[in-house]
Amino acid sequence: MESLYIYAFLAIVIWIVAHYLYKIRSAKFIQSFIDSQNSITILSTVNKVKNINEIGLKTFGFSSLKSFLTETNTLLNFFLVEEGCLDKYTYGKNWIEKVEQTKNQGVKVKVRSKEDGLLRYFQIKVSQLQGTKEYILIFTDISEIERSKNELQKTSEIDPLTKIYNRVKVNEFFDNLFVNVGESNQTFSVILFDIDHFKMINDTYGHNIGDKVLFELARLTQSLFRSTDTLARWGGEEFIIILKNTTAEQASMLANRVRVAIDQYPFEGVGHLSCSFGVTQYILGDTKANFLERVDKALYEAKENGRDQVVRK
Ligand code: GH3
Ligand code: MG
Ligand code: MG
């Protein structure tokens, strides 16, 4: 009977030791897995980082896990705020669980690398270790992809000749403005202007000179406005300026300032030229279509009345 107790006791001891050894072994396995990765790899529970590999420590600016943990126990502090990126406000403290639920999709984060001071974008994927409350976080560096994506986005919004926004971008601006203006009780105005007798300039001096005029005109106009105003090429030799929190009266004064500046500017190879201007302000209940129709009519009237002038509607 007594030996039975001894056997039972030994069995329990063996089980505990085996279990313990197994745990050590898997911890060692995970440790060497993390260390062998050449992208940032982290072992973490929902609220505490357990291990970070070398490349991760370098990126976050620490020499060891210990020094990391004395400063913080969350990675959220390193994620910079940018649209489309995860930061401390996105999911809050439980972000790891939430990202795990996105499975293959993962999330994007923006980090300033402490190693070289550069901004980096990472795609984080999270997998829960089976039967544990631990997660493996793998960061893939997607900075290059993000950079080319941003460049592509920019080129699709910028007019290649004048280097200012194109009509696609302005339409996007308008769509946002018309959504927000009703809620915010704010107003805005636009100036639409068109070069007078531009066909004649092309015919007289050639298309290349005409192109230069368009470029110079965009530069000149841009220099006269605030950075919060938006200048864009609306069409061939037509430009548009969106002025936030500006009344039609103020916009007319600005348009007149631009008109005079253009009148006085010596365009390369051409000399003097003039533009005609239409101005209007957002009126409560306006749709984008009837708002643009109104400013178009104002510009048409400026042309009809003899050009080189501002008409407000
Ligand atoms: P108005 O005073 O009534 O505006 O007369 P206009 O000659 O300026 O108007 P019209 O619409 O008859 O001609 C516009 C000209 O603008 C014709 C077109 O070839 C020229 N144009 C449009 N885009 C470009 C461009 O990118 N470069 C050059 N050089 N010319 C352009
Ligand atoms: Mg014209
Ligand atoms: Mg025109």
Residues of the chain with pLDDT > 90: what percent? 74
Query: Could you tell which of 237, 275, 309 is best to mutate to test the pocket of ligand 1, judged by most ligand atoms within 8 Å of the CB?
Result: 237
Ligand 1 pocket: which of 159, 163, 202 to mutate (most atoms <8 Å of CB)?
202
Q: Domains of the chain by range and CATH?
A: 36-148 (3.30.450.20), 158-312 (3.30.70.270)
Between CA 251 and CA 260 the distance in angstroms is 14
Average pLDDT over residues 97-124: 92
Query: Which residue from 183, 181, 176, 185 is spatially nearest to 286, judged by alpha carbons?
Result: 181
Residue-level pLDDT at 181? 80
Residue 142 predicted with pLDDT over 70: yes
Neighbours of 215 (CB within 10 A): 15
Task: Tell me what the mean pLDDT of segment 76-97 comes to.
Answer: 93
Check residue 40 and give its pLDDT. Answer: 96
CA dist 133 and 48 (Å) reads: 11
237 is catalytic: yes
Report whether pLDDT(75) > 80. Answer: yes
Is residue 112 very low, low, confident or very high in pLDDT (cuts 50, 70, 90)? very high
pTM score over 0.85: no
**What span, in angstroms and rounded, lies between the C-alpha atoms of 24 and 258?**
75
Query: Which is nearest to 60 in space by CA: 143, 274, 52?
Result: 52
What is the number of H-type helices and E-type strands within the chain? 10, 10
- pLDDT above 90: residue 104: no
Task: Give the nearest ligand 1 atom to 207 CA.
Answer: 29
Whole-number pLDDT of residue 1:
66
**Ligand 1 site residues, Cβ closer than 6 angstroms:** 161, 194-200, 202, 207, 210-211, 214, 236-237, 303, 307
Q: CA–CA separation, 270 vs 203, rounded Å?
A: 12
| Residue 124 half-sphere exposure toward CB, CA atoms < 13 A | 28
From the candidates 97, 216, 237, 293, give the one annotated as an active-site residue. Answer: 237
What mean pLDDT comes out for the span 62-72?
Answer: 93
- CA 54, CA 59: separation in Å to the nearest integer? 9
SS (H, E, C) 69-128: HHHCCCCHHHCCCCCCCCCCCCCHHHHHHHHHHCCCCCEEEEEECCCCCCEEEEEEEEEE
Q: Are residues 120 and 110 in contact, defined by beta-carbon separation less than 8 angstroms?
A: yes
Give me the residue label for tokens 């070289």: 116
The strand pair at 49-52 and 41-44 is best described as antiparallel
- pLDDT, average across residues 134-145: 95
Count other C-beta atoms under 10 Å from residue 293's C-beta.
14
188, 243 contact by CB (below 8 A): yes
* Whether the predicted pLDDT of 277 surpasses 70: yes
Q: How many A from CA of 240 to the centre of ligand 3?
A: 12
Q: Quickly state the pLDDT bin for 34 (edges 50, 70, 90).
A: confident
